[in-house]
């Protein structure tokens, strides 16, 4: 067995063509022709061999140069056709525009022809069944469950926008958003006052609860919105995707003076409930006071409440801190024993800081202005107490306990600190009391007689004489200064009178000139 065999036994291959590029190759892998070559070259070339076979070097170079020029000419022709179709090239603007419109018409006709061939005799109906309704086509929509008042009060001059909702947006729940009062709105917004929200396709009325986030991620209740800051608002309504814009107004009536938009915001998160807490101070008073222990009453109502607050921190108004210990049986229900850092007084007020959860109001009222013949004015939503009092003319209720009254606190007199001699002796000198006792008036020094000697009398007489001379000089100096001040005042009065007279003359001259000018202008207008 000759396994290797000779060349005559090898498998022979014919010519083959690349279907992607269109190039044709011989049995040995040489390039025979390409689709980019012209038909003349394809007819003239020998498909079974090399077209340059039997040519001299000069003829081969000439062949390749001509082939390259033909390819370049074909590329230039294609490029010029593209430029003409886009309105470019040597054509002017009008011709380019006409050429472009003609191209669009041809494309449209070709598209219509392909559609007709594709959809057959059914035409537009079959196309709508496969493609759906295109833009610019009238369509008929059937709506179920429409109230009769909508048909009766429908105004065809007002357009209706038809939108769709995802299944999630049809559910109701609590929405938390970042909220800010609009800077052009006159007043700040109050918590639990109804607002009309515009979110996406919907407008509805709800009651927001405002809060701010503390450092420990606790949402603290706010009674009013901040003046120039964001806050958080939580309200009950249809769920909207996060980052959806929110617009809020207070009233839908058209006769609102001032800026209508009350606040703006963006949706942050959705949930079945959001925890919001507010401060609650529990106040109590001491009944019995021992060294560092006291019995407190009035803070709780039962022993059960005391047991829930065991270990809670309490504090007096004077700043003494303490802790709730145990409930006691004596006294009124809710009394307990508490320990403090120091002994407290009977007049101290004890309070305990706590946080109470705020319950959200589940109120949702959609704006149905299309069901009324009056439009927006025919829809009536919830009104707050201030608007109702304003519309009905009801006077504002005044609670006497809420009126500020002057605080009169009698000044307390504390007993003087007494330090025993034994303790005072052990203190350092800097801490020892150094208050001298008050001296009586008219004591020994004021009643004793002083007898001076001759030399002392002489010195005393000399000092008296010196003081008398000094006092006389001071008296003369004051008199001269008083007289000079009077003369200076007289001169200033004369100067002021002269200045006032000059100003009066100047003003009189100025008013006279202005009067003449006005009279001349009136006469000129009368002539014209």
Q: Are residues 362 and 310 in the same domain?
A: no
Mean pLDDT of 376-394: 84
Q: Are residues 186 and 249 in the same domain?
A: yes
Of 279 and 128, the structure prediction assigns the larger pLDDT to: 279
Query: Is the model's pLDDT at 141 over the cut of 80?
Result: yes
Q: What is the CATH number of the domain that holds 258?
A: 2.40.30.10
Q: Would you state the structure tokens that stand for residue 390, as one six-digit string?
A: 């304003």
Q: Which helix (H) or strand (E) holds 134?
A: none
Q: Is residue 256 part of a domain?
A: yes
Average pLDDT score, the chain: 84
Last residue of a domain, one of 370, 391, 412: 391
Q: Are residues 133 and 243 in the same domain?
A: no
Q: Is residue 362 part of a domain?
A: yes
Mean pLDDT of 80-106: 70
Q: Are residues 219 and 314 in the same domain?
A: no
Q: Would you state the structure tokens that stand for residue 336, as one six-digit string?
A: 């307990």
Domain interval for residue 203: 141-276+358-391
Query: Is the model's pLDDT at 101 over the cut of 80?
Result: yes
Query: Is the model's pLDDT at 36 over the cut of 70?
Result: no
Q: Is residue 375 part of a domain?
A: yes
Q: What is the pLDDT of residue 438?
A: 72
Reported as a single tens digit per residue, the pLDDT across 283-298 is 999 999 998 999 999 9
Task: State the Rg of the chain over Cα.
Answer: 53
Give the distance from CA 320 to its chain's centroid.
Answer: 40
- Indicate the range of 170-184, 417-431, 466-480 predicted with least confidence: 417-431
Query: Is the model's pLDDT at 426 over the cut of 60?
Result: yes
321: which strand partners?
A: 315
Q: Are residues 117 and 195 in the same domain?
A: no
Q: What is the pLDDT of residue 379?
A: 83
Band of the pLDDT at 43, cuts 50, 70, 90? very low
Reported as a single tens digit per residue, the pLDDT across 159-185 is 888 888 888 888 999 999 999 999 999
Is the distance from CB of 174 to CB of 276 less than 8 angstroms?
no
Q: Is residue 334 part of a domain?
A: yes
- Indicate the range of 160-169, 186-195, 325-334, 471-480 predicted with least confidence: 160-169
Last residue of a domain, one of 118, 138, 158: 138
Give the distance from CA 310 to its chain's centroid.
Answer: 41
Q: Are residues 122 and 188 in the same domain?
A: no
Q: What is the CATH number of the domain that holds 314?
A: 2.40.10.190
Last residue of a domain, one of 391, 415, 435: 391
Q: Are residues 363 and 351 in the same domain?
A: no
Band of the pLDDT at 384, cuts 50, 70, 90? confident
Q: What is the pLDDT of residue 268?
A: 94
d(CA 97, CA 86): 9
Q: Is residue 239 part of a domain?
A: yes
Q: What is the pLDDT of residue 279?
A: 92
Q: Are residues 164 and 233 in the same domain?
A: yes
Band of the pLDDT at 10, cuts 50, 70, 90? very low
Highest-confidence range of 38-52, 109-123, 358-372, by mean pLDDT?
A: 358-372
Q: Are residues 119 and 196 in the same domain?
A: no
Query: Is the model's pLDDT at 251 over the cut of 90?
Result: no
d(CA 291, CA 295): 12
Q: Which conformational region is residue 5 in: left (phi greater than 0), alpha (psi within -120 to 50 degrees), or beta?
A: left
Mean pLDDT of 145-168: 84
Query: Which residues neighbour 366 within 8 Å (Cβ) at sequence distance 6 or greater?
Result: 202, 203, 204, 205
Band of the pLDDT at 6, cuts 50, 70, 90? very low
Of 446 and 464, the structure prediction assigns the larger pLDDT to: 464
d(CA 453, CA 227): 85
Q: Are residues 161 and 131 in the same domain?
A: no
Query: Is the model's pLDDT at 27 over the cut of 80?
Result: no
Query: Is the model's pLDDT at 1 over the cut of 60?
Result: no
Query: Is the model's pLDDT at 30 over the cut of 60?
Result: yes
Handedness of CA 80, 82, 88, 91 (dihedral sign): positive
Query: Is the model's pLDDT at 433 over the cut of 60?
Result: yes
- SS3 of 143-177: the string is CCCCCHHHHHCCCCCCCCCCCCCCHHHHCEEEEEE
Q: Are residues 385 and 253 in the same domain?
A: yes
Number of domains the chain contains: 3
Torsions phi, psi for 81 (to 5 deg): -65, -40
Mean pLDDT of 325-350: 91
Q: Is residue 426 part of a domain?
A: no
Q: What is the pLDDT of residue 296?
A: 94
Q: What is the pLDDT of residue 89?
A: 47
Of 165 and 504, the structure prediction assigns the larger pLDDT to: 504
Q: Is residue 288 part of a domain?
A: yes
Of 93 and 238, the structure prediction assigns the larger pLDDT to: 238
Q: Are residues 156 and 246 in the same domain?
A: yes
Start-to-end CA span in the chain (Å): 137
Band of the pLDDT at 57, cuts 50, 70, 90? confident
Of 90 and 18, the structure prediction assigns the larger pLDDT to: 18
d(CA 400, CA 177): 38
Q: Is residue 194 part of a domain?
A: yes
Handedness of CA 121, 126, 130, 134 (dihedral sign): positive
Band of the pLDDT at 29, cuts 50, 70, 90? low
């Amino acid at each position: 067995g000759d396994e290797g065999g000779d060349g005559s036994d090898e498998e022979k291959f014919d010519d083959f063509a690349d279907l992607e590029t269109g190039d044709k190759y011989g049995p040995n892998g040489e390039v025979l022709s390409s689709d980019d070559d012209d038909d003349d070259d394809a007819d003239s070339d020998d498909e079974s061999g090399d077209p340059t076979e039997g040519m001299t070097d000069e003829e081969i170079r000439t062949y390749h140069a001509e082939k390259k020029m033909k390819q370049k000419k074909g590329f230039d022709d294609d490029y010029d056709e593209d430029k003409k179709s886009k309105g470019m090239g040597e054509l002017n603007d009008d011709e380019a525009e006409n050429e472009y419109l003609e191209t669009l018409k041809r494309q449209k006709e070709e598209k219509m022809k392909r559609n007709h061939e594709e959809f057959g005799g059914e035409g537009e109906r079959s196309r709508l069944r496969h493609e759906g309704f295109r833009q610019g086509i009238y369509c008929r929509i059937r709506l179920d469950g429409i109230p009769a008042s909508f048909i009766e009060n429908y105004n065809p001059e007002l357009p209706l926008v038809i939108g769709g909702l995802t299944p999630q947006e049809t559910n109701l729940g609590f929405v938390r958003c970042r909220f800010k009062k609009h800077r052009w709105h006159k007043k700040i917004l109050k918590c639990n006052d109804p607002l009309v929200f515009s979110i996406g396709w919907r407008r509805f009325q709800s009651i927001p609860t405002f809060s701010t986030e503390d450092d420990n991620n606790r949402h603290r209740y706010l009674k009013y919105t901040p003046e120039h800051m964001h806050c958080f608002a939580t309200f009950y309504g249809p769920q909207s995707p996060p980052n959806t814009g929110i617009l809020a107004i207070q009233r839908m009536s058209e006769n609102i003076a001032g800026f209508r938009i009350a606040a703006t915001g963006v949706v942050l998160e959705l949930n079945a409930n959001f925890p919001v807490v507010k401060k609650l101070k529990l106040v109590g008073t001491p009944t019995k006071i021992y060294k560092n222990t006291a019995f407190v009453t009035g803070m709780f109502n039962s022993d059960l409440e005391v047991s829930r607050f065991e270990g809670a921190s309490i504090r007096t108004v004077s700043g003494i801190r303490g802790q709730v210990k145990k409930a006691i049986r004596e006294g009124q229900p809710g009394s307990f024993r508490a320990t403090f850092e120091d002994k407290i007084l009977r007049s101290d007020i004890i309070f305990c800081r706590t946080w109470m959860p705020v319950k959200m109001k589940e109120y949702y009222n959609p704006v149905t202005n299309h069901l009324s013949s009056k439009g927006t004015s025919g829809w009536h939503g919830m009104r707050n107490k201030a608007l109702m009092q304003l519309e009905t003319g009801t006077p504002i209720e005044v609670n006497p306990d809420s009126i500020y009254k002057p605080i009169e606190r009698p000044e307390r007199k504390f007993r003087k600190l007494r330090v025993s001699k034994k303790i005072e002796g052990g203190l350092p000198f800097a801490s020892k009391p150094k208050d001298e006792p008050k001296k009586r008036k008219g004591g020994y020094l004021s009643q004793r007689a002083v007898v001076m000697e001759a030399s002392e009398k002489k010195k005393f007489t000399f000092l008296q004489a010196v003081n008398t001379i000094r006092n006389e000089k001071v008296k003369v100096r004051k008199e001269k200064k008083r007289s000079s001040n009077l003369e200076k005042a007289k001169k200033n009065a004369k100067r002021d009178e002269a200045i006032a007279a000059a100003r009066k003359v100047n003003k009189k001259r100025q008013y006279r000139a202005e009067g003449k000018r006005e009279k001349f202008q009136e006469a000129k207008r009368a002539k014209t």
